[in-house]
Amino acid sequence: MTEDLFSPLALRGTEIPNRVMVSPMCQYSCEERDGLATDWHRTHLGARAVGGAGVVMTEATAIEPRGRISPEDLGIWSAEHAEALAPITEFIRSQGSVPATQLAHAGRKASTRRPWEGGGPLQPDEGGWDAVAPSAIPYPGHESPVDVTALSSAEVTEMVDTFAQAAEYALDAGFEIAELHAAHGYLLHEFLSPVANGRDDEYGGSFENRIRFLLEVTDAVRAVWPNEYPLFVRISGTDWLPDRESWTVEQSARLADRLAAAGVDLVDVSSGGIHPDQQLPPSGPNYQVPLAEHVREHTSEAIGIGAVGGITTAEQADALIRNDRADLAIVGREFLRDPQFPLRAARELDALDRVDVPPQYERAF
């Protein structure tokens, strides 16, 4: 039987009711700068569960304070953070959606102002902090960047443990899917890409060395994440820097095989973010889907594929699943425009009998 947007997806012991996932999106809304979830997160994430998303994923959620992109980012580095998130995951589950969190470390792109306050680096004397990265090379896209220090190999090992600790807190918070954020020029991606990784130890140089940190984090998180719960990894399928040694789609496919062998259930294929010289294609419909397809076609291990980028209509999302181009349609900005995107899609695709419309909203559907 052909699968479509409203076919459930079983991954390990988790049944995702349909193929639409809310893409992780920073909300810059921890007003106290403490990483604790607020009413904004509860309302924002809750509304998208009400709207019928199969998976509702949090924004990039920092595993330690230095790992935040902005001081207002969500965090998951203490029991208090887990407690603040617990009512949110409970509500998401009550609506039939699967609660998911993106575990993240911003690396050399940490400590910036939130976009509506101008973006760009926030210095320690302005409430920011110094950054850590594979190498002491600041992100070239920032004018007067914060100081960047290279992690020592002992600190890399500590960081692996910090990811695992954060995963344990995420579990306590009630999440059922964890996604490692290894895309967009943040810490895990910085290790993968020779553009940001100039190390000469076992974490730099060859492909094997550059993927080592991500594989160690994957193993450590998989060890604490229950066997019946799925683990995702978001990657940048390519750095879009064909003029220099960089991360490419071929390496992404090789990495996906290794992630599958390490117990990762789905690779969420995004792109870019490591260097401002990137030659991004225009952000039109399905603009990153060819990367997801390449990874799908060139992996020998069985692994789910999530497609993201420019998915805005019901027919487009449905076609991605029907044509077996991806297992999940991951939707970002369209969900900011319309929290009910999945319910609207069900209406447009004549599939209302296959979704649970909340009784409170039945008269609209």
Output the smallest distance, CB 271 to ligand FNR, in A: 9
User: In this chain, which stretch among 91-99, 157-165, 177-185, 254-262 interacts with ligand FNR, using CB under 6 A?
Assistant: 177-185
Closest chain position to ligand FNR (CB): 332
Q: Which of 37, 63, 308, 314 touches ligand FNR (CB under 6 A)?
A: 308
183 binds ligand FNR (CB under 6 A): yes
Catalytic residue among 28, 139, 186, 229: 186
Output the smallest distance, CB 201 to ligand FNR, in A: 28
* Distances from the Cα of 67 to the Cα of 60, 128, 244, 364, angstroms: 10, 11, 27, 42
Burial of residue 359, with CB atoms counted within 10 A of its CB: 0-12 exposed, 13-18 middle, 19 or more buried: exposed
Beta bridge partners of 180: 103, 233
12 binds ligand FNR (CB under 6 A): no
* Distances from the Cα of 219 to the Cα of 10, 162, 188, 198, angstroms: 22, 13, 14, 24
**3 state DSSP class of 304:** strand
Nearer CB in complex with ligand FNR: 283/300: 283
| In the chain, alpha helices (H) | 39-50, 79-94, 153-172, 187-192, 207-224, 249-261, 289-297, 314-322, 333-337, 341-348
- Between residue 19 and residue 38, which ones bind ligand FNR under the rule CB under 6 A? 23-26
Residues 6+ apart with CB under 8 A from 365: 343, 346, 347, 352, 357
251 binds ligand FNR (CB under 6 A): no
Q: Which of 59, 72, 176, 216 touches ligand FNR (CB under 6 A)?
A: 59
Q: Which of 102, 165, 218, 246 touches ligand FNR (CB under 6 A)?
A: 102
186 included as an active-site residue? yes
User: In this chain, which stretch among 30-38, 48-56, 86-94, 328-336 interacts with ligand FNR, using CB under 6 A?
Assistant: 328-336
Alpha-carbon distance 316 to 333, whole Å? 15
Q: How do strand 14-16 and strand 177-182 relate by DSSP bridges?
A: unpaired
Annotated catalytic sites, by residue? 186
Residues that bind ligand FNR (CB under 6 A): 23-26, 59-60, 102, 181, 183-184, 234, 270, 308-311, 331-334
